[in-house]
Every structure is written in structure tokens, then in C-alpha cells.
Structure 1
Amino acid sequence: MKIRPEHLIVGDTVGIVALSSPIAMEKLPQKLSLLEELGLKVKLGETVGLTGDYLAGTDEERLQDLHNMIQDPEVKGIFCIRGGYGAARIADRIDYQLLTEHPKIFWGFSDVTYLHTAFQEYSDIVTFHGPMLSGGDGPLSEASKKMFYQLFTPVEIQYDEQISSLQTIVPGNVRGEITGGNMNRLVSTLGTKFEIDVKDKILLLEDIGESLENIDSMLNQLRLARKLEEAAGFVIGHFNDIGKGITENDLWKVFEQYLKPLGKPSVAGFMIGHCEPNIAIPLGVDAILDADSKMLRILPGVE
């Protein structure tokens, strides 16, 4: 059982880091306003505002910023301010024992998927797959904001068709640890020491800006690496910007080709990923996927 970090309380301080691409500073006030609404104090990391072409500073600067936030006793949670690219470049130099010794909330998605996978494997800690404090084009929806409250009290997440229309690809029921995230980043872990462990787990997949052909290619790579075979079930999140004229049904047909032969519970249509709302969930805790009634239940991510 993975370590669940302590819950937040109003008045706590949380750290903001940029471990991937740089943030446009004019967007920072909007992002920080959400944390202020939640009654949290904010400590900006040294990487916030740094630029180095497509990275928020050097690898050394981003690594040090992360280590500083983990070790800072005042900081109760760490929020990634942006995705993009670059998190994997520091993965092999992170001191994973630090987070095991100082467990705290780690939140982000997209490029941060690489670190979710690494932290779950080497720090043995629950992390949170959630939006970068704002939507793609503006403030978060109320539904997205509501998901931050799971950090303040242990609460079970329940997702059904009251949130979005869901499509059962393979019927059945399964319980297992939920893991995964951005499919592109998950595929990039294959063949490395950070290769995602999906054995008997429920695998979450989402992505943005990938063509139907690329999605097919990534699914095939996961198949050849036996990841689809090893997983216990599948939660298919949002796939945004997949090409002009490509429908959701076109996308589900590709998933059906890979998942139906496996006979493992699989449901598509979850608003998890590059979408609004973007429903935040803990990774590394047990979940129950009921593909027959189209319901996903996830156990609390905090103590």
C-alpha cells in the first residue's frame, strides 16, 4: 500500500514549481487566485518565471527547485504550474528517498505523468493527476475546482454519467490500483528504469494533439510491451485535438480493436486530461471500475 500524504488545512503553505516548460508570467495571477480561494498560502519556486528556450530553466535548476520544495517543512503540497516538456530530463537525478521521508501532496498532469510514474515506483507515494491551476484558455470550471477539496479531507471519488457520457468498451468489474496518465509520456517510459508498472492495475490513458494514427501506434507499442495484457482494466480519459473530422466514435473504435480481445473491463469518455472540466484523481490508490454500470470509484488519496 502506497504512502498517502497528509491532508491540507486552511492556512497551509503550498509550493509552486515549473518542472517542464516555462509559464507565461501574465497567467500567474489567475493560477494563484485559485489557491488563495482555497485559503492556502503560496511559495513560488525558483523555476517559476525562468525560461530556457522550451524549458523552465536548466535541468539543475528544476531538479533543485523540486528537492527544495520536498525538504521545506513549511510546504505541505507541491503543485506543478505547467506541463509541456522536460520533466523526464530530471527523473534519473531525483532523490526519491526524500519524498518517502517527507511525504506530501504532488499535483499535476500531462508532461508530469513521467514523474507520477517515477514517484509511485521509487518513492512509493500516492500522487494527484489534476489540472495546472487553470484551464487551457482561462479559469477552471466549478467542477474542476471542486476536485481540489479532496486534498483537505479523505474522500472517495465517484465518477458516473452524471459527470459525462461514458462508453463501455468491455463489460465487467475490477478492483485494483489506478495508475497512468498521458499516453505519450507513458509510452516514453518503456525500456527505461521508469517503465510504468501496470501489473494487475487499472490503467488511465489520456492525450492531446495526437492523430488517430499516433494513438493507434502508441496503443500498439503498449500492446507489444505487454502492458495492455498485464493491466487489469482501462479508464480512457479525454483525447483532445485528434484531427479534423475525427469523431469520438472513430477514436473508440481504435481502442476497441486493442482492448476487446483482452476481455478486461474498459470504459471510455472520462473527462480526465486536457479538457474542461478536468476531473482530478489520486494515482496509486485502489479503485473499482464497474464497466457494466459505467461507474469508477477511487479511494481517498490523503490521510
Structure 2
Amino acid sequence: MERIKPKRLLPGDTVAVTAPASWGDRDKTEAAAGYLERLGLNVILGETTRKKHGYLAGTDAERADELNRLFADESVKAIVCARGGYGTGRIAPMLDYAAIRANPKIFWGYSDITFLHSAIGRYAGLVTFHGPMLIDLGREDLHPATLEGFRMMLEPVVPAYGEELSPLQVLVEGEAEGELTGGNVSLLTSTLGTPYEIDTRGKILFLEDIDEEPYRLDRMFNQLKQAGKFDDAAGIAICDFHNCEPNKRKESLTLEQVIGDHILTSGKPTLAGFRIGHCSPNAAVPVGIRARLSTRKKLLEGLEPGVQA
């Protein structure tokens, strides 16, 4: 499906906050909304930001209905997810992808939101944004680069990720171009065998996760490898794997060994160390734009902005 881009935001535009996965602290969510308001935006909080249904922010129907309504609402110009957690895969079959394509707007989030990036990209063709949640903006140690990422909403910025935020390591030399896709490894793995399965053919795949021990990542990487996702990719960007250290098992492979066994064997250009994911700073990434990965330059760069001018 041909990719479409949302329009950039203008001062006074309305940004809606929704919780399509787990619930979060309403007070913290309201406080964090102030950061977007200081960008000159009008922020409204969806009903799901105050709902609880077990570990979910309301029932599947409530969360899906709110997301569908927000995409259909012409007064809403962007949708920012309050937090991740769990549950987006449950609502993917309930979304109106034709309406999403007919009403393209900025959709922003990461972690569990990865499932929706994959689903919306496949069935609506919309460029979306893998970026910090609203709740991340309420952190006391908020990094300026995390907040800077939201500039992609306001300007047709062509992103570039070099060594400004962290040192990068060349794992497999080479250069690749392709559409940018990826996100949280746990969620990408959970798309396999579903109608929303991640498509990596000829694409640059970026990967991140949190609190997954090497033996668990071993299983997920192995499944992705056997599904052909690494061989199909044009290039691979290894991002932040926060707290992915051995805990349950005293004798363990390292994360680096697991990556070597399953990802580097594909032979695809691979660069590691990007501050994208459950980390600070958390750099924003437009999912679906054309991009280039160069190990010689130690650079992952967009070839176009994520929004229309």
C-alpha cells in the first residue's frame, strides 16, 4: 500500500491523548500534558486515560472505539498515546483502517504501541511515529533530546541519528536503504502469524526492548529469524535494550551473543547503540519513511520527513 503522511501541526491544533493499552496515573498524565501545551498545542484527554479494566485502560471495545473516534474527528490533528503496557494487539482487529487512511493524522507512541504501528502501516499505509509516551514527559530526569523529538510534529524535519546521543558500534559493515520499520521485539514477535505480521522485506529494521533476559530474547530472535525477518531486511539498527541482563539464570549467554547468533548471521548491515526505546534520551522515529543506514558514517538517516509540509 502506498504510504501517506499526516500533516504537520500548527499552533493551536488539537492533540488528543488516548490509552490504547494499559492505564496510567491520571494526575501524572494531566501534568505531562503541559509539555505539549507549551508547544502551543491544545491538548484533550480521552476517556480511556481515566478508565481501568484489570491491567487495561478500559475494555477492548472502549479503547478501540475511542481510537476510531479520534481518527474520524476532524478537529483532532494528532493522537499521542498516554503509555504502553499491554493490550494493543487485542484491539487491532477492531480498528477502522479505511477511516484511518481517509483521515491521516499524527499517531505517536512506542513499546506496546508497536503492534498498532505494524497494523496501521499495513492496512492504512500511514506513516506513524515511534516516540516517547505522554507519561514519559512527566519524568523528573526528562532529557532535552526526548522533548526535542516532538518537533517532528511541528516541522517537516528529516531525522538523522548519529553519535550525538551515544556511541555507535558497527556489527556488520555495509550500507542499506529502505523503508524504516520495527519497534519493540516482544511486540514484533507477537505479530507473527497474525494479519498484522511485521513486513521487513527490503526495509531497515530497528529493534528495542526492556526487562527481557537474554534467554527470552534468544527465543524471540530465533522466532523472528526462522520467520525470515532478518534475512528479508535490508539493514538492521540495534537500539536500546534496557535492563536486558541475566537474572533468573546464573549461567547465561550475553545479549551480545544472542544478537550474534540470530541477527548478525543474516549478514545485513547492522549498527548498534541507538538511544531509541525505553531509555533516556528516547529519540523519536517516523515509521514508514525511506531511510538509509550507513556503518561507514555511523548514521541512520531519514531520506524524507515524517509529516507533510
TM-score greater than 0.5 by the shorter chain: yes
Instruction: Write the distance in 2 (CA, Å) between the matches of 1:112 and 1:22.
Output: 13
Deviation at 1:48, TM superposition (A): 1.1
The corresponding residue for 1:226 is 228
> Structure 2: where are the runs of 5+ without partners?
none
The corresponding residue for 1:66 is 67
Deviation at 1:136, TM superposition (A): 8.5
Amino acid of the structure 2 residue aligned with 1:273? G
Instruction: Write the distance in 1 (CA, Å) between the matches of 2:88 and 2:137.
Output: 19
Paired residue secondary structure (2:32)? helix
The corresponding residue for 2:193 is 191
The corresponding residue for 1:302 is 307
Moved over 4 A (4+): none
Instruction: Write the distance in 1 (CA, Å) between the matches of 2:122 and 2:10.
Output: 28
Is the Cα–Cα contact under 8 Å of residues 170 and 259 in structure 1 kept in the other structure?
A: no
TM-score (norm 2): 0.94
The corresponding residue for 1:201 is 203
Deviation at 1:137, TM superposition (A): 7.5
Instruction: Write the distance in 2 (CA, Å) between the matches of 1:201 and 1:250.
Output: 27
Instruction: Write the distance in 1 (CA, Å) between the matches of 2:47 and 2:136.
Output: 23
The corresponding residue for 1:268 is 272
Is the Cα–Cα contact under 8 Å of residues 238 and 273 in structure 2 kept in the other structure?
A: yes
The corresponding residue for 1:42 is 43
Is the Cα–Cα contact under 8 Å of residues 31 and 138 in structure 2 kept in the other structure?
A: no
Is the Cα–Cα contact under 8 Å of residues 237 and 272 in structure 1 kept in the other structure?
A: yes
> Structure 1: where are the runs of 5+ without partners?
none
Instruction: Write the distance in 1 (CA, Å) between the matches of 2:9 and 2:116.
Output: 21
Is the Cα–Cα contact under 8 Å of residues 233 and 266 in structure 1 kept in the other structure?
A: yes
Deviations 1:26-73 (A, max 9, x none): 212332011111110012111111001100011111011001100111
The corresponding residue for 2:256 is 252
The corresponding residue for 1:283 is 287
Paired residue secondary structure (2:263)? helix
The corresponding residue for 2:168 is 166
Instruction: Write the distance in 2 (CA, Å) between the matches of 1:187 and 1:148.
Output: 28
TM-score (norm 1): 0.96
Deviation at 1:221, TM superposition (A): 0.4
The corresponding residue for 2:104 is 103
Deviation at 1:244, TM superposition (A): 5.5
* Percentage identity across paired residues of the two chains: 45
Instruction: Write the distance in 2 (CA, Å) between the matches of 1:256 and 1:244.
Output: 17
Deviation at 1:293, TM superposition (A): 2.0
Deviations 1:158-188 (A, max 9, x none): 1111211111110100010010100000000
The corresponding residue for 1:115 is 116
Is the Cα–Cα contact under 8 Å of residues 168 and 294 in structure 1 kept in the other structure?
A: yes
Cα distance change, pair 33–239 in 1 and its aligned pair in 2 (3 A):
same
Amino acid of the structure 2 residue aligned with 1:105? I
Is the Cα–Cα contact under 8 Å of residues 108 and 132 in structure 1 kept in the other structure?
A: yes
Instruction: Write the distance in 1 (CA, Å) between the matches of 2:39 and 2:284.
Output: 16
**Aligned residue pair count:** 301
Paired residue secondary structure (2:293)? strand
